[in-house]
Structure 1
Amino acid sequence: MSAPAQKYVYTSLDQLKEGTVANVFGVVTFFKLPYRSKGTDFCCVIVIVDQSNVKLKCTFFSGTQDALPRIYKIGDIVRFHRIKIQKFNDEFQGISSSGFSALVFEGNIDAPLIPRTSSKGYSFTAEDQKTVETLRKWQLGLPIFSSSRRILSDVQPGQYFDLICQLVGKAEVDKTSYLLKVWDGTKCASLSWKCYVEDNALEGDRDMISRLQSFTIDVLVYDNHVELAKSLKIGSYIVIQNVHAKLHSTTNECQEHDKYVEFHLHGGTCYGRGITVPEDNNFGVKELQKILDAVDLKQNQSLHPVTTSDIHSSQMSLPFDALERCQQLSVTVLPVHQQWQITPLANIIKSKAPQKFCIRARLKHFQPCFLYQSVKLYCTKCNSLLDAPDDQSLSKMFADCFNGNPNRNAPDTFWFQSAVWNTENLDRAVAIHFVKKCDILQSPEDSLILLEGGSFKELCKLSSHFNTIIPVKSKDEQLEIDLSAPFIIQGNKWLYGCIKCSNIKTLEELKSLSLEVGWDAGKIAKALGVELLTHLFVMNFTLEDETGSLNAYLWRHSEQFFQIPPSEILMDSDLQERLLKIMSVLCPSTEQISGHPWMNCCIQSYNSNNGEQICYEIFDTVLSEQDLDRLL
């Protein structure tokens, strides 16, 4: 119940002063769900704006998660009492002070004026109500408040989006991932991937799951989100922020019926990533309930009880682990085409190209012997295939191309802010240009920086702290990229651009991404006119069965085969070690070939460019994690 009305004075965001404690209203333009800080408290980050068009970044800490403001989406309206204003990097920032309290209202103009708050008593006057209604009208149609919330029928492969939905099933997949089976009353336009779990592992009403199978999607939840996912109740309404709709194509031809979309909620808290459970009276929940109640399920009802096997067998494409149980004698599994008959290698050698086959063979030999040499850079536009630089090459590359000293007097701009310092024991300076997002600076794990004058060793160190790095150099007092070196660095991913096919634009084009969620490498490359190169493993396998042997290339489907990202392996010693162990299992040097494990593979034949030779390529084949772990 509301406490007796008390008169509060509210400050416009453009009138805030350092060192004061203020009361403010604002509309949310960015938020990060509460997460456990390095200490014992929970932390949340919220950016708000008001009619003055001044933004304020607020960082709040609390010993309990429920005491922090409950933000569900961009456009929510907040009222903060008693926030302390301080300066950080020459910009104002709000933090909680003694007596801090928050009310959160839905931004929809038709939503009821019911606040979300942890306060037992609060005041809310007619004047406050008028302020909320004014902010609701003000934000209508403004691009800065465009929400990333989508319905499933509008989701496109490759998108990151927010989804309000109902939970109909859940299951533990392994210690670091959890399955949520959800629906929102609409059907995904693309074929939806289904995660295989044992019958007794899936929680939820089987009849309901069966009737909704054409509507539901499977969302795999990872790492820090798993515990919350486990606690969710079947039938509850949830909001999943920053779901990744990842396109998985199972053939080179990429025909429509060979594509399916996987849905993932990755670990971490970047880009507002997480899960929330809104109240039953939430406007979005009410609207979702109307949609779900209007869905006619009669045509989707089954005439017999179903098991998870029935559900998964109805899908055109399955993840590789769905077939592990029926592939116990092979260290590989086939996501699709498992109905194909095994063809002896002798028959394949006699057949004309192009054709596709399923084989059962052992790996007799592979090249290159030094596995780091198998990592290549491929341009899908001009078909160039280049060696990926090793550490020594990268170190020389940055010493040769980026050793110029930055301009110490270079002014900050409205889209980036700079810092310059001398390196230790070297007569050389390094500059970091922090690119602003929505006109504000971000925390390091969310930031894009332009690095000028950095060495390879410094880049490796900074890549563990910053989300995205673009190496740059100065020319005529302007910053520019150099595609002879890595174009984008994101953690262990060092991505390159094709020098032939790229049409480089100025770095100021990054401003066009200021309203995007996160820093997507593909969107950055497109904005700057860079044609990104794809990392591949390129190997030549000599395969042998009882009838003969043939050489088959593994390259365009190599990441699917190994389940190891080639874009990260050169910077990750653990991945390098795993690849070495995998190859030692597939082709042990101390064993006769009769001791090598069997592999079921899909291969396709094709004519070489000159038409004088028939070549073979492995596709749609995946190593079985279960059998590999048993043999490693």
Structure 2
Amino acid sequence: MPSPINSSSSGFCCGKAQPNLKISCWTRLRNEAAAGKETDSPEEFHIVSFRGIVALSYPLTKLGDGTDFFKVVLQGLDNLCSRTNSINILIHGKMAEDCAKIIHHGDTFIVAGYKLAKSPTAGLDGRHGCHLELSEEAGSAIYIYGKPRTTAAPETASLSVAPKYVYTPLNHLKDGTIVNLYGVVKFFKPPYVSKGTDYCSVVTLVDPSNVKLTCTLFNGNLDSLPKIYKVGDIVRFHRIKIREYNGQMQGITGVGFASLTFDGTVGAPVVPRSSSKVYTFMDEEQKTIEELRVWAASNLSISGPAAKLSGVRPMLYFDLTCQLVGKAKVDGSSFLLKVWDGTKCPYPTWKVPVEARDLEGEKVVLHQLRNLTVDVLVYDNHVQLAKSLKIGSFLRIYSIHTKQASAVDEDVSHIEFHLHGGTCYGRGIGVLPESNLDVKELKAFLESVDLADSQSTESMSSVELDSTFNNVTDLESYLQRCQQLPVTVLTDHQDLNNTELKTILNSTAPQQYRIRAKLRTYKPQKLYQSIKLHCSKCNSLQEVPDGDDFDFILQGSAVTAPNPELHNTSWYDSVMWTTQDQKQRKIAIHFVKHDEMLQQPEDTLLMIEGGTLKELWKLTKRFKCVIPVRSTEDDLELLDPSAPFLLQGNIKYYGCKQCSTPKPIKSLSSIAAEQQPSWEPTEIAQVLGIVPLQYVFIMKFTLVDATGALNVYLFDYENFFQIPASEILTNNSLQQKMQMTMNTLCPPGRKLDDLPWLECFIKSYNVRDTMTHQVYYQIFDTTVAEGVV
């Protein structure tokens, strides 16, 4: 039996978690030095790591070319009193600056990915004949296990007290603060490419205070985001910025943000997964990790929707831990991944038709595993990552959707595996290191699989389809075959049982229910009328302003010419010109700078004075954010409160007139000064004193079952239709998608018996005033099934 494919890995972690880091490494180094061995290739040593105690550290200095330089003396663990058992560590660049901030005498210090060279000072200091050179550019890594020390070693050039970090419980967070915190992951979205150039990850944390915190994390380097693999992982965030939004605290990345992630399983080794090359981890923090694990095991449902291929069924959403054995491009918006987990799918599976020359992977292995692999088709924003995956790597694919369909002119139905576009419900792909416990278990299982047994007969769990297969499922015939399957999906509260509508009508509010019903009618019939603007602070609703209103406001603001005295400040550059038409309008554009430099257009925020609506839309196609402004004597300011305060892509962002208190435009300079300004609309709104209005779907559904009828309201931003309400007014394809969805949920001209079932969560609530009392009902935690949309 051939061995399963294994991807190489050289990762390791610090402290007690690595008993394999022995002093024999020092013996090897001495032997190499004695043999006169020297190398300029750090790759030769990437798999070797050295551990010792920091005996001496020198002040951070700069070399002649301006590069930061930091020197550390590392003492071997076998003889702490011998100078010959110590070695010089020379650290260059950004890594030197980071190390100088947190390294202290007595810390346990591990290095990997170094360059070995002869030490020119060995004859003077009596230390090892070689030294180690490290830098981030060379792929070096440093791991520090800090312990508070009360006494100094005899030889000390720089000595300071180990830093004592204060960690804030989630129920003590305050707006505008920068804090350190611990939390258990309740929900997360694997990193994905944002609308700019950065990667983004969304994480929802909880802790024993029973408060929830959602963090939106950005970084241009994928490896700098938290390495979260599953719900229940524990994270430590340092220097995360806290902002209040919609009455709730949110976390965002700021200057100096760093993270550690730990497996949340009780009894698992406490091994940090770091977003930084340099970090500290104290003894008392291990106790914090273990306490959070115990709390989460009793208070948090962390089982997740994980499944084996042997346990899948149609219309399921699940997470799959697997190994990649093949991949291929299908078309511009989809990509094929061939994966296996050692078990066999109980249903016939669809084989995506691709040319043999386009399929990457070892042909022999693909043939041997042909009855155990499944084809996962990934779409849209996941394609870029899928292309970069290495054959043999171990993956966790989040929120795979299984669909049941039949090939054209065939009676045999089969299962299809899809990873749809978007990031709703944590959809995405994570690459797991071989040190991961789940990967170790999977590898051991894969090595035990008897491939000869799976190849003895042709398995009925694999239907080979020719290249003429039409990948469009006939939804009408599908609903006829599977009439009992609901066309909606529940995203939480799976423990609730179904309740008849008659029982709900006779019950007091507030309560939550799970129902199974049919959609008899809905309003409004003109779906674009369902889009409203909602203020979460005053709970008001208003219509989306007409584009002509905005154009009229722009024309009025163009009457006042831009003030030249407000041009070219320390945080933005300005250009101004006069149009060649009869009106000879003066237009000024102010480009916001970062670190005194202009950014790439796709990362740039600009402000415009005197432009028309047509000119603004042209700018949004090239630049990330556009803010229409006008001049005063002292500063730039936003336009009329009825106008959008920001344009991004095709979306206009409005503020609440009642709740907003606009601030001067110069307030934006605080974001421009950040290390990595993201120019997110919520952050821009906050610094400008704007309470943003959110686009929402407002619809009225009349649901029926055998016991009665109930009017239920849909109040949703994007979860139910899996379409952002903010984008539907400007996107024809999304409007068509929404109309097709409603035609499926409530097919026109159908009898009640022929309508599909909807499974929903609804909640009842009271609305009282001085004269009346009414009970209303609202859909929540429900989404349209992917196969329906």
Shorter-chain TM band:
0.5 to 0.7
* CA gap 1:196/1:403 in 2 versus in 1, 3 angstroms: farther
**Structure 2: which amino acid aligns with 1:222?**
H
**Which residues in structure 2 correspond to 1:472-483 (within 5 Å)?**
472-476=629-633, 478-482=635-639, 483=641
Which residue is 1:108 aligned to?
Answer: 99
Instruction: State the SS of the aligned residue for 1:202.
Output: strand
Distance 1:574 1:541 in 2: 24
Which residue is 1:534 aligned to?
Answer: 694
Which residue is 1:227 aligned to?
Answer: 387
* CA gap 1:447/1:195 in 2 versus in 1, 3 angstroms: farther
Work out the number of aligned pairs and report it: 433
Does the aligned pair in 2 maintain the 1:343–1:357 contact within 8 Å? yes
Q: Offset of 1:115 from its aligned partner?
A: 8.3
Distance 1:451 1:115 in 2: 49
Distance 1:330 1:168 in 2: 28
* CA gap 1:400/1:115 in 2 versus in 1, 3 angstroms: farther
* CA gap 1:522/1:574 in 2 versus in 1, 3 angstroms: same
> 1:377 and 2:537 equivalent?
no
**Structure 1: which amino acid aligns with 2:217?**
Y
* CA gap 1:275/1:392 in 2 versus in 1, 3 angstroms: farther
* CA gap 1:598/1:357 in 2 versus in 1, 3 angstroms: same
Instruction: State the SS of the aligned residue for 2:700.
Output: strand
**Which residues in structure 2 correspond to 1:394-543 (within 5 Å)?**
394-401=550-557, 404-408=560-564, 410-423=566-579, 425=581, 427-476=584-633, 478-482=635-639, 483-513=641-671, 514-517=673-676, 518-543=678-703
Does the aligned pair in 1 maintain the 2:114–2:134 contact within 8 Å? no
Which residue is 2:773 aligned to?
Answer: 612
* CA gap 1:491/1:193 in 2 versus in 1, 3 angstroms: farther
Q: Deviations over 1:28-70 (max 9, x none)?
A: xxxxxxxxxxxxxxxxxxxxxx9xxxxxxxxxxxxxxxxxxxx
Which residue is 2:709 aligned to?
Answer: 549
Does the aligned pair in 2 maintain the 1:492–1:571 contact within 8 Å? yes
Q: Offset of 1:566 from its aligned partner?
A: 0.8
Structure 1: runs of 5 or more not aligned: 4-22, 28-49, 51-74, 79-103, 142-146, 170-180, 208-219, 237-260, 267-273, 281-288, 298-304, 306-325
Q: Offset of 1:418 from its aligned partner?
A: 1.0
Does the aligned pair in 2 maintain the 1:421–1:429 contact within 8 Å? yes
Does the aligned pair in 2 maintain the 1:105–1:113 contact within 8 Å? no
**Structure 1: which amino acid aligns with 2:569?**
T
Distance 1:193 1:357 in 2: 23
* CA gap 1:193/1:229 in 2 versus in 1, 3 angstroms: farther
* CA gap 1:584/1:620 in 2 versus in 1, 3 angstroms: same
**Structure 2: which amino acid aligns with 1:507?**
I
* CA gap 1:612/1:115 in 2 versus in 1, 3 angstroms: closer
* CA gap 1:196/1:519 in 2 versus in 1, 3 angstroms: farther
Which residue is 2:723 aligned to?
Answer: 564
Which residue is 1:356 aligned to?
Answer: 512
Q: Offset of 1:613 from its aligned partner?
A: 2.3
**Which residues in structure 2 correspond to 1:66-77 (within 5 Å)?**
77=93
Computed over aligned residues only, the root mean square deviation of the Cα atoms, in angstroms, reads: 5.1
Does the aligned pair in 2 maintain the 1:76–1:107 contact within 8 Å? no
Does the aligned pair in 1 maintain the 2:496–2:513 contact within 8 Å? yes
Q: Offset of 1:400 from its aligned partner?
A: 3.9
Instruction: State the SS of the aligned residue for 1:570.
Output: helix
Larger Cα-atom Rg: 2
Instruction: State the SS of the aligned residue for 1:430.
Output: strand
**Which residues in structure 2 correspond to 1:16-415 (within 5 Å)?**
25-26=66-67, 77=93, 107-109=98-100, 157-160=214-217, 162-163=224-225, 165=227, 184=272, 194=304, 199=309, 202-203=321-322, 222-230=382-390, 233-234=393-394, 329-401=485-557, 404-408=560-564, 410-415=566-571
Q: Offset of 1:453 from its aligned partner?
A: 2.0
Q: Offset of 1:597 from its aligned partner?
A: 1.8
Does the aligned pair in 2 maintain the 1:150–1:163 contact within 8 Å? no
Distance 2:535 2:504 in 1: 30
Structure 2: runs of 5 or more not aligned: 1-38, 42-63, 70-90, 104-108, 122-131, 137-141, 143-157, 164-177, 186-202, 204-212, 219-223, 232-260, 264-271, 274-288, 311-319, 324-339, 343-379, 397-423, 441-447, 449-481
Which residue is 1:176 aligned to?
Answer: none
Distance 1:276 1:592 in 2: 50
* CA gap 1:567/1:105 in 2 versus in 1, 3 angstroms: same
Q: Offset of 1:328 from its aligned partner?
A: 6.5
Q: Offset of 1:337 from its aligned partner?
A: 2.6
Q: Offset of 1:577 from its aligned partner?
A: 1.8
Q: Deviations over 1:304-347 (max 9, x none)?
A: x9xxxxxxxxxxxxxxxxxxxx9961110111233322222223
Distance 2:707 2:560 in 1: 62
Q: Offset of 1:411 from its aligned partner?
A: 2.7
Identity over the aligned pairs, expressed in percent? Answer: 33
Instruction: State the SS of the aligned residue for 2:647.
Output: strand
Q: Offset of 1:591 from its aligned partner?
A: 2.4
Distance 1:365 1:478 in 2: 53
Q: Which residue, 618, 623, 626 being the options, matches 2:784?
A: 623
**Structure 2: which amino acid aligns with 1:366?**
Y
Distance 2:740 2:521 in 1: 15
Does the aligned pair in 2 maintain the 1:151–1:163 contact within 8 Å? no
Specify which structure has the bigger relative contact order, considering alpha-carbon pairs within 8 angstroms and separated by 6 or more residues: 1
**Structure 1: which amino acid aligns with 2:713?**
Y
* CA gap 1:351/1:564 in 2 versus in 1, 3 angstroms: same
Does the aligned pair in 1 maintain the 2:229–2:432 contact within 8 Å? no
